[in-house]
Amino acid sequence: MTSERPTGLDPSDWQEFRSAAHELLDACIDRLSAAADHPWQPVPEEVREGYALPEAGAGLDDPARLAAELRDTVLPHGTGNTHPRFFGWVHGTGLAEGLLSEMVAATMNANCGGRDHGSIYVERAVIDWTRRVMGFPEGASGILVTGTSQATVIALQAARLRALGADVRAKGQGGRWLTAYAGDGAHNAARKAIELLGIGHENLRRIPEGENGLDLDALKAQIAADREAGALPFAVIGTAGSVDFGRFDDLDAIADIAADEHLWFHVDGAFGAWTRLADAPWRGLSDGIGRADSLACDFHKWMYVPYDCGLCLIRNEDEHRAAFAARPSYLAALDTGLAGGDPWYCDYGIDLSRGNRALKVWAAIRAHGAEGLGRAISDNCRRAAQMAELVEQAPGMKLMAPVVSNLCVFTADETLPPEAQSALNGAIAQKLQLSGDVVFSTTLAQGVTCLRAAITNHRTRPEDITHSIAAVARATREARE
């Protein structure tokens, strides 16, 4: 006679589960506390093959086995962005507080689409704190999302409703010709949003840029030309921190043009919006951001919280809600009880079911405050300036764009022809990633594929910058030899 297994999915022995969980938590803390010892590494083939899932699970009786697999085969093989010399792309680097908050969030397993529970009030507190930091008025609306890409869709949908009226949700855009405007260096999130809204990316006008960002005269000329051609200009997108060079548009000047032309003013502040917390002169880069109709930014980049968490902030709550509210009868709110708690976040965005993104942000702010987070952001900018100085002092290296904030773009050997420089820089980036020395990404500047460092890591110290440039110099010498 066979014994029946429990029909539930909880552990059959909670004490055994507790012991396994404690060991795994210790391994996670060990890993995080020694982040400098764990650069990115390729995933070995045998580990990749081990990720294949079996037909049958291990069962309720072996939590230690699962914990060991998580510790030994998953934990060591992240992107390496917790490491202090990870400068690729614009990656966030995580906080110890995030480990605690994510543990609590997973235990609560709250659906933050709505209803009346603690996580909703935590999210409201995070949004209101950010509203004040960014200079948005009291009563402004917001929602936490996966990241700036999703936030941009939400913002531009609200902008489209302002331009075309609420009927666009029922009847569609029809033959009406909308145009929007952004600098040449604006993030691809703008293009994706315009495509997803059915406007078509050819109607996102790319405006030339200079060292001071978007060309304001060219912007005004393009708006006038589009109106003359029969288009309806509806939105202009300012950039606070471009992905290639960390440049900032003149947000105050764009706000003036948007007001004169009756355009929705959206700011892509994925990482650069957080210069609002930085010291001078970096804080001034984002002056004017509080005049925007909407802002997209990420907490998982330059606020260091674990992935994923972005924010869409919208000046007018009525316009925000009008763009998304469509609640079926089974989700009707009540005055009291769990079905209370209006407003519900499902009325302000794409998702009906939503995870608890706010808790890790709340924990970071609770632990460090605006002052502590701003100090780390300012230090990242200082490290980028330090890297630029070392590049300018190194024989053969050349800075390929001014360091405005936290990005440094350079070539390893300017004496080579452009094509050879590109090949060398690409080879160096790969070599240093594989060696574990430093992670640079690459970008195009002055016709050359360059090394690019985006410093958004609160663990980065002056000696990490010195080590990184020395590693580039060494790799360049080895390539010459």
Q: Which of 310, 361, 290 is nearest to 187 (CA)?
A: 310
**Least confident span in 178-182, 240-244, 465-469:** 240-244
pTM assigned to the model: 0.94
Whether the CB-CB separation of 429 and 441 falls below 8 Å is answered with yes
Mean local confidence (pLDDT), 248-258: 98
Q: What does the pLDDT look like over 427-458, one tens digit per residue?
A: 999 999 999 999 999 999 999 999 999 999 99
**Two tokens at 324?**
């998304």
Share of the chain above pLDDT 90, in %: 89
What pLDDT score was predicted for residue 269?
A: 97
Mean pLDDT, rounded, for 205-218? 93
Q: What is residue 392's predicted lDDT score, i.e. its pLDDT?
A: 97
**Would you say the C-alpha torsion 327, 331, 336, 338 has a positive or negative sign?**
negative
Tell me, what's the pLDDT at 358?
97
Residue 143, pLDDT above cutoff 80: yes
Strand partners, 408: 453
Per the CB < 8 A criterion, the answer to whether 291 and 265 are in contact is yes
Q: How far apart are the first and last CA of the chain?
A: 75
Q: Which residues contact 136 (CB under 8 A, 6 or more apart)?
A: 290, 292, 295, 313, 315
Contacts 24+ apart (CB under 8 A), 202-209: 203/177, 203/178, 203/179, 203/231, 204/179, 204/180, 205/179, 205/180, 205/181, 206/182, 207/181, 207/182, 207/183, 208/183, 208/184, 209/183, 209/184, 209/185, 209/247
Q: How many CB atoms lie within 10 A of CB 125?
A: 15
Q: For position 9, what pLDDT does the model report?
A: 84
Q: What's the chain's average pLDDT?
A: 94
User: Is pLDDT above 70 for 400?
Assistant: yes
* % residues pLDDT > 70 (the chain): 98
- Dig out the tokens for 246 from the structure: 């960390």
The bridge status of strand 178-183 relative to strand 204-207 is parallel
Strand-pairing partners, residue 371, are none
Confidence of residue 328 (pLDDT cuts 50, 70, 90): confident
| Averaged pLDDT for residues 359-384 | 98
Please state the separation of Cα 194 from the chain's center in Å.
Answer: 19
Summarize pLDDT for 84-118 with one digit per residue, the tens: 999 999 999 999 999 999 999 999 999 999 999 99
What confidence score (pLDDT) does residue 36 get? 95
pLDDT at 1: 44
Q: Rounded CA gap, 357 and 299, in Å?
A: 10
Would you say residue 339 has pLDDT above 90? Answer: no
Higher pLDDT pick, 185 / 158:
158
Interval 244-251 mean pLDDT: 95
Write down the pLDDT at residue 324: 95
What pLDDT shows up at residue 7? 61
For position 188, what pLDDT does the model report? 92
